[in-house]
Chains A and B, each alone.
Chain A
Amino acid sequence: MLEYTLRRLGWGVLTLFLISLVVMALIRSMPGDPIALMAMGSSERGNDKAISSVYFEKMRKNLGLDKPWYHGYFIWAKNLFKGDLGRSLYDQKPVAAKIAERIGPTLWLSLTSLFLAYLLAIPLGLYCTARNGRWQEKSISTALYALYSFPSFVMALYLLIWLSLKLDLFPLRGMVSDNYGELSFAAAAWDRFLHMALPVICYTYGSLAYYTRFIRSNMMEVMQQDYIRTARAKGVDGKTIMFKHAFRNSLIPLVTLVGLTLPGLLGGSVILERIFAWPGMGNLFFDAITQRDYPVIMGLTMTFAVLVMIGNILADLLYAVVDPRITLE
């Protein structure tokens, strides 16, 4: 077990190294570096072109952008070993601080929606199994299937138009109102709730549909097992079979699912965060890409990649922990 974990971790580190190399090469090859973008902005403001071009050339030199990409990569990797992710080229803030500042809002959304999704999906999935083949199950399945196919950004726009614009129930964008600082505690909490409601709905409904289908299909598989038939033959009542015999066993694949959702928790959704102007990781990522802010892109990519890696290893380990039939080689 320990050996397996260590081997997986070793491969993971190698993969991370490759990822950082590839991503650095890719983003440094994107047309237009941050200085060029700044220069464009400055000449639009009507500054003297000759002076600013000298200035920008100097700046480029200071930031090391005049050197080839692998040069920049060495510096970046050297700093990473010291635990330093570098500073944003755009506002000179440390990348780690920038990410830390954005993790909170993203977690607010993703954790709430994850909690809600499981809270609703487990009873729904069980209900569907119990009513399998009847109209209740069929209508719930169809509705969930349609929801599952409904793109979340389209849903976000529909909800914004209908609930925010037409009925004026929810605020249009942002995480808190402008006057958030002056509100009393209860009013502030209510304000946060209102701002969170729509994004959380959009984050939740897709995974809710997915989890419900997942739970139902697992339950259906477990219900065909011999030990269920045995329990039934012994005269155990339906409820006990459902909750004690079947449900516990159907939880095994669910554990892997938890491991695989880990990167999604922090990654956030770029499109949804942009629509709701939510100050999370997705929005930071979008801005970093449009501004060609190399250290921030690198920092975010590595965060995501580490999470994917840990999520995968965790899923495999958990699988072996909950299911004694599986042994790790």
Chain B
Amino acid sequence: MTGVAILSLLALVALFHPLLAGTKPIVCKYKGKLYFPMMSYYSSSWENPIFGISGDKFRGAYPDNLKKKDPDSWAIWPLVYQDPYRKVRTREWRKLGKELERQEHLGILKAEQKRRKAGAAPPPLAAEATSETGSGSDEEGASGTASKRSSKADFAHLANAMELVELEAQIRQLEAKDPGWKYPPSVRWRERPGNKNNSPPTPVNYCGTDEFGRDVFARLVHGTAIALLVGFVTMGIAAVIGIIIGSSAGYFGDDMLRLNIVGILGGLAAASFLVNHWMGFGATATSAGNGAEGLTFVGILLELFWIIAVIAAIGAAQWIGFRLSEPVPALGKEILPVPLDLILTRFMDVVLSIPALILILALIAIIPNPTIWHMMAVIGATSWVGIARLIRGEFLKLKNTEFIIAAQALGGGHLRVMFRHLLPNSLAPVLVSISFGVAGAILIESGLSFLGFGVQPPTPSWGAVLRDGFRDLTQWWLVFFPGLSIFVAVFTYNLVGDGLQEALDPRLKKG
């Protein structure tokens, strides 16, 4: 239960990270229209062009620019005015700070004026005046004896009148400086120091700043979204691959799929095409000279497409043979069993025996500028074996049960039996495995980013912050906070996985 609670908290932080920390308003009214500039934290292309270079050139500094360019604008700001991608500077607040100072000063003067006007009729006693007006009226506060009292009071009265005049002049002067716009009450911050580089935690930077003066707290909050996204998407990909491969290996076994003659011929043709195709491309990959870009990400997708196309071609050939079996029965005879289970389990063994790191590193190295999405695809593409094995085992267990045989006898097709009848009954252990897998994926991503093989620098991944900390261990805050975040995320997913396991397997319940 604790696990689920922390997990929902993490998910909330991940979902609403620009509301928690950012330098872009959540909502703002600018030149008569409503905008949501914080959306650009989700995807930089969502930044409204009016704030960009082609528009009003905000250069990311919203507070002053909003007021400068549209005095009637207002905005609701994130809870913490800090940015994960850049240093926050003092001048972003300067105009605002000055205006706030002016308003505050004006308020004090007006209160003083009011008080003095009210107190002017009965001239205050010297002693009282001292205590009341404090440092502002030193000349009144001179100690007087009882005999001089009346003349002293007169003098004080006179001084008071003079000060009132002076006050009024000051107030007029301040009011003349009115810029003509008003700040909304939601703006509470004062002029304060911008981020220093390499600063330990301060009241401004809760978790300190890194070498570029970026706020670590903001980076961690935005990193939460990345970490959770990596976990989910990675395991989503892994689950899809694992379920497809595991279920076909478990269901078809070694002799359920049989090819007819046309199918065999089609298979041979397709296989020779693939071999020919792959032999060709090692040559182009390495002979291209310095800094040769071997495989690209798109290239890999293309290869995957070819593999699928080849499988589809074999299927089509098989189907043609099936149709041709009416005139020519020999063609339709299903003679060659496809040892699908054998092939797929060998494939799983191969993937499992290659050290995960080399597989991931080799795949990532192929991508020129890996983004977080590439990382997810690569980690997902390498961590499906466990799920595939589980699914295969469950399918083998369930394949010969009565309800499956009944479904087949009723004329249910292969796909229908696989995904409507077998899959829902074998998902329970997969859920547990996915939950632990998410924790593993978060660990792998932060580990890769820590080694420097991960996302490109400005992306605020937890592992990337940790890497900055490893360069200079004296900056403990760059290690402590991201490390804690990784721990909490991994711990939470392990808790949830354990809970699931217990719920699904009553034997494990503590007695």
> How far apart are A72's CB and chain B's nearest CB, in angstroms?
8
B494 adjacent to A149 (CB under 8 Å): yes
Please give, as numbers and ranges, the residues of chain A lying within 8 Å of B357 by CB-CB distance: 270, 285
Encoded as 1 (CB less than 8 Å from any A CB) or 0, chain B from 337 to 367 comes to: 0000000001001101111011101110110
B355 touches A267 (CB 8 A): yes
Q: Does A83 have its Cβ within 8 Å of any Cβ on chain B?
A: no
Complex CA gap A148/B436 in Å reads: 12
A130 CB, nearest partner CB in chain B, Å: 14
Contact B291 A133 (CB under 8 A): no
Chain B residues near A30 (CB-CB < 8 A):
294, 362, 365-366
Interface size on A, residues (CB 8 A): 62
Say if the beta carbon of B307 comes within 8 Å of chain A.
Answer: no
Asked if B121 CB lies within 8 Å of chain A CBs, one says: no
Q: In the complex, are the beta carbons of A286 and B295 less than 8 A apart?
A: no
**Residues of B contacting A158 with CB < 8 Å?**
479-480, 483
Q: Mark A92-136, 1 if CB is under 8 A from B, else 0.
A: 000000000000000000000000000000000000000011000
Bound CA–CA A297/B361 (angstroms): 12
Q: Which residues of A contact B451 (CB under 8 A)?
A: 270-271, 274, 286
Bound complex: CA A295 to CA B96 (Å): 62
Whether A308 contacts B476 by the Cβ 8 Å rule is no
- The verdict on B218 contacting chain A, using a C-beta distance below 8 Å, is no
- Asked whether, in the complex, the Cβ of B361 is within 8 Å of the Cβ of A289, the reply is yes
Is A18 interfacial (CB-CB < 8 Å)?
Answer: yes
CB nearest to A158 among chain B residues:
B483
Given A23-B358, A149-B494, residue A70 in contact with residue B282 (CB < 8 A): yes
Which residues in A have their C-beta under 8 angstroms from that of B494? 145, 148-149
Decide yes or no: A22 and B354 within 8 Å by CB, A15-B349, A31-B291, A151-B446 being known contacts: yes
Q: How far is the CB of B28 from chain A (nearest CB, A)?
A: 39
A316 to B236, CA, bound (A): 31
B286 at the interface (CB under 8 A from A): yes
Closest partner residue, chain B, to A172 (CB atom): B473
- Chain B's closest residue to A223 (CB) is B511
Chain A window 1-45, contacts with chain B (Cβ cutoff 8 Å), 1 for yes, 0 for no: 000000000010011101100110111111111001001100000
Known: A154-B487, A161-B476. A14 touches B285 (CB 8 A): no
Q: Closest CB of chain A to B300's CB: distance in Å?
A: 9
| B-side contacts of A324, CB under 8 Å | none
Contacts of A65 in B (CB 8 A): 286
Residue on A nearest B289 in the bound complex, by CB: A36
Taking a contact as CB atoms closer than 8 A, the residue among B366, B474, B486, B508 that contacts A29 in the complex is B366
Evaluate contact between B358 and A160: CB separation under 8 angstroms. Answer: no
A69 within 8 A of B: yes
Candidate in B279, B282, B447, B480 with the most chain A CB atoms within 10 angstroms? B282
Q: Give the residue of B282, B473, B491 whose beta carbon is less than 8 angstroms from that of A157.
A: B473
Q: Separation in Å of the A63 CB from the closest CB of chain B?
A: 11
Of A29, A145, A161, the contact of B479 (CB 8 Å cutoff) = A161
Complex CA gap A11/B282 in Å reads 27
B511 touches A132 (CB 8 A): yes
On whether the beta carbons of B474 and A133 are closer than 8 Å, the reply is no
List A contacts of B283 (CB < 8 A): 67-68
A residues less than 8 Å from B480 (CB atoms): 158, 161
Chain B's interface: helix, strand, loop or mixed, by majority?
Answer: helix
Chain A 266-284 per-residue mask, 1 if CB under 8 angstroms from chain B, else 0: 0100110011000000000
Interface flag for A304 (CB, 8 Å): yes
Q: Is there an interface contact between A308 and B486, defined as CB atoms closer than 8 Å?
A: no
Please indicate the chain A residues that have their CB under 8 angstroms from the CB of B281 in the complex.
68
| Chain B 260-303 near chain A by CB (<8 Å), digits 1 or 0 | 00000000000000000011011101110111111100000000
Chain A residues with CB under 8 A of B225: none
Contact check: which of A29, A149, A217, A304 meets B439 at CB < 8 Å? A149
Nearest Cβ on chain B to A99's Cβ, whole angstroms: 14
B285 A69 Cβ-Cβ under 8 A: yes
Taking a contact as CB atoms closer than 8 A, the residue among B292, B353, B354, B469 that contacts A31 in the complex is: B292
The contact size tier of chain B is 35 or more
B292 close to A36 (CB less than 8 A): yes
Q: Is B490 an interface residue (CB 8 A)?
A: yes
Write out the residue numbers on chain A whose beta carbons fall within 8 Å of the beta carbon of B282.
25, 28-29, 68-71
* B residues near A315, Cβ cutoff 8 Å: none
User: Is A305 interfacial (CB 8 A cutoff)?
Assistant: yes
A-B contact number at CB 8 A = 159
- Which residues on B sit within 8 Å (CB–CB) of A32? 291-292
A165 contacts the other chain (CB 8 A): yes
Q: Is A256 an interface residue (CB 8 A)?
A: no
On whether the beta carbons of B483 and A154 are closer than 8 Å, the reply is: yes
Nearest CB on A from B8, distance (A): 18
A149 touching B291 in the complex, CB below 8 Å, given contacts A23-B354, A23-B358, A26-B362 = no
Q: Nearest Cβ in chain B — how far from A106, in angstroms?
A: 14
Interface flag for A66 (CB, 8 Å): yes
A150 to chain B, nearest CB (A): 5
| B-side contacts of A160, CB under 8 Å | 473
Least Cβ distance of A15 to chain B in Å?
A: 5
A301 at the interface (CB under 8 A from B): yes
Q: Which residues of A contact B287 (CB under 8 A)?
A: 66-68
* Residue of B with least CB distance to A282: B357
Neighbouring A residues of B177 by C-beta, 8 Å: none
Q: How far is the CA of A271 from the CA of B444 in the complex (A)?
A: 11
A271–B449 CA distance with the chains assembled, in angstroms: 11
Are the CB atoms of B352 and A308 closer together than 8 Å?
yes
Chain B residues, CB < 8 A from A285: 355, 357-358
B443 adjacent to chain A (CB < 8 Å): yes
List residues of A (214-260) whose CB comes within 8 Å of B's CBs. Answer: 217, 220
B361 in contact with A151 (CB, 8 Å): no
- Given the complex of chains A and B, what is the CA–CA distance between A39 and B290 in angstroms? 8
Of the candidates B346, B473, B510, which one forms a contact with A14 in the assembled complex, judged by CB atoms under 8 Å apart? B346
Question: B452-484, CB under 8 A of A: which get 1 and which 0?
Answer: 000000000000001001100110100110010
- In the bound complex, how far is the Cα of B470 from the Cα of A11, in angstroms? 43
In contact, B291 and A40 (Cβ under 8 angstroms) = yes
A309 at the interface (CB under 8 A from B): yes
Residues of B within 8 A of A14 (CB): 346
Name the distance in Å between B147's Cβ and chain A's nearest Cβ.
71
Residues of B within 8 A of A271 (CB): 447, 450-451
A309 and B353 contact, CB distance less than 8 A: yes
Check B290–A31 contact: CB distance below 8 A.
no
CB atoms of B286 and A19 under 8 A apart: no
A209–B405 Cα distance when bound, in Å, is: 44
Q: Given A19-B353, A161-B476, are A28 and B447 neighbors across the interface (CB < 8 Å)?
A: no
Q: Is B193 an interface residue (CB 8 A)?
A: no
Output the nearest chain B residue to A66 by Cβ-Cβ distance.
B287
Question: 9 smallest A-B Cβ distances: which pairs?
Answer: A69-B282, A68-B282, A154-B483, A68-B283, A149-B491, A29-B294, A26-B362, A30-B365, A29-B295
- Having A29-B294, A29-B295, A165-B474, one finds 5 other A-B pairs with CB under 8 Å, namely A23-B354, A31-B366, A33-B286, A69-B286, A305-B354
A sample of 19 inter-chain contacts (CB < 8 A) reads A11-B346, A15-B346, A26-B363, A29-B285, A29-B294, A31-B291, A31-B294, A31-B368, A36-B289, A40-B291, A67-B283, A68-B279, A132-B511, A154-B483, A158-B480, A267-B355, A289-B365, A308-B353, A309-B353
